[in-house]
């Protein structure tokens, strides 16, 4: 076998392993091995590429791999589980930018080093522009998502007059550049650079109108984009393993996006364009003055202490307060008193898909105790106490009762149907969606104000004292 076909065979093996790895990643029993299989696939693809004819700059390649590898390894080791959504956003952005830079490098090469070659054919140019546009949007979009998730900027939607027409015009301009630039590749370096700039602006503008609570959708979608950008890069250098792996990521990102949208009963376009949750001000003041029933930690303790079954509903507030470990401790103590404890996880609770599952796993909560809303809701009437920790919109009964509510129709956890409901909350500020939550005013709801971690720790120490 000659060198080229050896490399091609390695790429086929790599593509097959990516497929197997991803398949295994989607099932609980095999997920960890699946990740390993996909890492091996990546290694094969990298090593094979080093054999490609014409690759000579090995010292530079080794330096790049060493620098990137060190940064990636340190970041992956240091990052807190609560900061995982930001981390994924940044990594995603890097992948997108890498695809953009590859597009640029290959464009420059074709134009200045190998002019007149097949590299300037229309299909290759279309792929180049797609890699640049998708990669650029992925990069800046992920950075904005990162800034929102890390609370470097306000997580609320940022809206301005004419936002939609401006975005539409920019998108149209990008597509126009793609067409013009692809048909006349030789004379258009300025146009190419304009496409790079436009993609950056588009990425920013596309994500700023999306609120913090919708971030699980945004991250999934950007994930999909980064795959498609890699796919476009694969067309530029005519490499099948890039196309296959990029497509797999594009598809899996789309599926996650769809799952997230379904969990909120909203369409993707509604998530992306509606500026959901931007409405501020008192939506509550419908004339009637309603009151909440505050409760002290001590009274909450008495409620919990006599409960036979407790359902914990965690939300983003638990992540912010880093309360997952004390929550697990509380659960263990209640169980040791013969109480049945379950954790009801809404698919969009938190800031990335599966966010709460990761945090509770970190705190060592066994995953057979984690239940989905559809499984726990029918049994809710028999539950003694629902403990809502830093969750808001996912327990909002307006979603099933009030057709005028913006979240009407969203599948929620029916916390209001339990015998009692204790809501741990920092203050009466509304959730990220900015919607009033009638659960807080219900007759059987008690509000326990304060920092979630401190409050749960107080409950834990009370329970310990009585042991």
Contacts (CB under 8 A) with other proteins, residues 216-245 = 219-220, 223, 226-227, 229-231, 233-245
Positions annotated as catalytic residues are 393
Of 28 and 429, the one with the shorter C-beta distance to other proteins is 28
Long-range contacts of 185-189, Cβ-Cβ distance < 8 Å, separation of 24 or more: 185/110, 185/111, 185/120, 185/125, 186/111, 186/115, 186/120, 189/111
As a whole number of angstroms, the distance between CA 138 and CA 92 comes to 7
Cβ atoms of 141 and 221 within 8 Å: the answer is: no
Of 275 and 373, the one with the shorter C-beta distance to other proteins is 373
Q: How far is the CB of 436 from other proteins (least distance, A)?
A: 27
Binding residue (CB under 8 A) for other proteins from 61, 194, 320, 454: 61
Of 61 and 147, the one with the shorter C-beta distance to other proteins is 61
The size of the interface with other proteins (CB under 8 A), counted in residues, is 113
Stretch that binds other proteins, among 46-54, 275-283, 377-385, 397-405 (CB under 8 A): 46-54
Stretch that binds other proteins, among 57-65, 155-163, 271-279, 431-439 (CB under 8 A): 57-65
Binding residue (CB under 8 A) for other proteins from 82, 86, 92, 455: 92
430: nearest Cα among 264, 284, 271, 217: 284
Count the Cβ atoms, other than its own, within 10 Å of residue 156.
19
Count the Cβ atoms, other than its own, within 10 Å of residue 68.
12
As a whole number of angstroms, the distance between CA 384 and CA 315 comes to 20
Question: Is 68 a residue that touches other proteins (CB under 8 A)?
Answer: yes
Residue span 399-438 as binding mask against other proteins, x where in contact by CB under 8 A, dash where not: ----------------------------------------
As a whole number of angstroms, the distance between CA 412 and CA 380 comes to 12
Stretch that binds other proteins, among 68-76, 280-288, 322-330, 391-399 (CB under 8 A): 68-76
Q: How far is the CB of 135 from other proteins (least distance, A)?
A: 8
Give kind and range of the element (H or E) at residue 446: strand 445-449
Binding residue (CB under 8 A) for other proteins from 4, 64, 152, 153: 64
Q: How far is the CB of 372 from other proteins (least distance, A)?
A: 6
SS (H, E, C) 229-265: HHHHHHHHCCCHHHHHHHHHHHHHHHHHHHHHHHHCC
Q: Quickly list DSSP for 302-356.
A: HHHHT-SEEEEEE-HHHHHTT-HHHHHHHHHHHHHTT-EEEEE--TTSSSSTTHH
Of 71 and 382, the one with the shorter C-beta distance to other proteins is 71
Give kind and range of the element (H or E) at residue 425: strand 420-425
Of 75 and 172, the one with the shorter C-beta distance to other proteins is 75
Q: How far is the CB of 429 from other proteins (least distance, A)?
A: 27
- Write down the residue that tokens 């598809």 correspond to: 251
Give kind and range of the element (H or E) at residue 448: strand 445-449
| Binding to other proteins, residues 300-359 (CB under 8 A) | 345, 347, 352-355, 357-358
Of 246 and 315, the one with the shorter C-beta distance to other proteins is 246
Contacts of 7 (CB under 8 A, 6+ apart): 48, 49, 51, 52
Of 141 and 406, the one with the shorter C-beta distance to other proteins is 141
3-state secondary structure of 79: coil
As a whole number of angstroms, the distance between CA 242 and CA 16 comes to 12
Residue span 357-386 as binding mask against other proteins, x where in contact by CB under 8 A, dash where not: xx--xx-x-xx--x-x--------------
The token duo for 454 is: 């401190």
As a whole number of angstroms, the distance between CA 314 and CA 391 comes to 6
Of 225 and 301, the one with the shorter C-beta distance to other proteins is 225
Q: How far is the CB of 84 from other proteins (least distance, A)?
A: 7
| Binding to other proteins, residues 104-133 (CB under 8 A) | 104-106, 108-109, 112-114, 121, 123
| Binding to other proteins, residues 154-193 (CB under 8 A) | none
Residue span 245-284 as binding mask against other proteins, x where in contact by CB under 8 A, dash where not: xxxxxxxxxxxx--x-------------------------
């Amino acid at each position: 076998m000659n060198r080229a076909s050896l490399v091609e065979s390695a790429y086929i093996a790599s593509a097959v392993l990516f497929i197997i790895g991803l398949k295994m990643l989607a099932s609980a029993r095999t997920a960890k091995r699946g990740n390993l299989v996909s890492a091996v696939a990546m290694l094969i693809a990298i090593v094979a590429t080093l054999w490609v004819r014409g690759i000579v700059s090995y010292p530079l390649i080794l330096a790049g791999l060493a620098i990137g590898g060190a940064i990636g390894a340190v970041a992956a080791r240091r990052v807190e589980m609560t900061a995982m959504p930001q981390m994924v956003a940044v990594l995603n952005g890097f992948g997108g930018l890498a695809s953009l830079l590859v597009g640029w490098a290959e464009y420059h090469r074709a134009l200045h080093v190998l002019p007149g070659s097949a590299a300037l054919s229309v299909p290759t140019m279309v792929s180049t522009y797609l890699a640049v546009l998708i990669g650029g949007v992925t990069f800046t979009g992920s950075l904005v998502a990162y800034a929102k998730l890390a609370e470097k900027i306000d997580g609320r939607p940022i809206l301005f007059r004419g936002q939609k027409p401006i975005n539409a015009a920019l998108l149209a301009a990008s597509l126009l550049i793609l067409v013009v630039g692809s048909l006349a590749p030789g004379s258009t370096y300025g146009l190419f650079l304009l496409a790079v700039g436009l993609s950056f602006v588009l990425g920013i503008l596309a994500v700023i109108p999306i609120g913090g609570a919708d971030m699980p959708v945004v991250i999934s979608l950007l994930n999909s984009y980064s795959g498609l950008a890699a796919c476009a890069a694969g067309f530029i250098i005519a490499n099948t393993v890039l196309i296959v792996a990029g497509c797999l990521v594009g598809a899996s990102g789309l599926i996650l996006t769809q799952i997230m949208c379904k969990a909120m009963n909203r369409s993707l376009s509604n998530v992306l364009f509606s500026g959901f949750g931007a409405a501020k001000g008192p939506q509550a003041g419908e004339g009637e003055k309603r009151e909440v029933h505050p409760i002290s930690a001590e009274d909450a303790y008495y409620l919990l202490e006599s409960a036979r079954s407790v359902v914990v509903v965690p939300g983003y507030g638990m992540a912010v307060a880093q309360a997952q470990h004390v929550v697990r401790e509380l659960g263990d103590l209640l169980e040791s008193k013969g109480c049945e404890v379950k954790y009801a996880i809404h698919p969009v609770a938190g800031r990335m898909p599966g966010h709460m599952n990761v945090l509770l796993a970190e705190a060592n909560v066994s995953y057979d105790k984690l239940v989905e809303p559809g499984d726990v809701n029918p049994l809710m009437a028999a539950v003694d106490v629902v403990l809502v920790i830093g969750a808001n919109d996912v327990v909002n009964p307006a979603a099933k009762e009030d057709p005028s509510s913006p979240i009407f129709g969203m599948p929620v956890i029916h916390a209001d149907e339990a015998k009692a409901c204790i809501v741990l909350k920092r203050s009466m500020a509304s959730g990220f969606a900015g919607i009033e939550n009638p659960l807080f005013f219900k007759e059987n709801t008690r509000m326990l104000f304060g920092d979630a971690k401190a409050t749960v720790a107080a409950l834990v120490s009370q329970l310990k004292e009585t042991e």
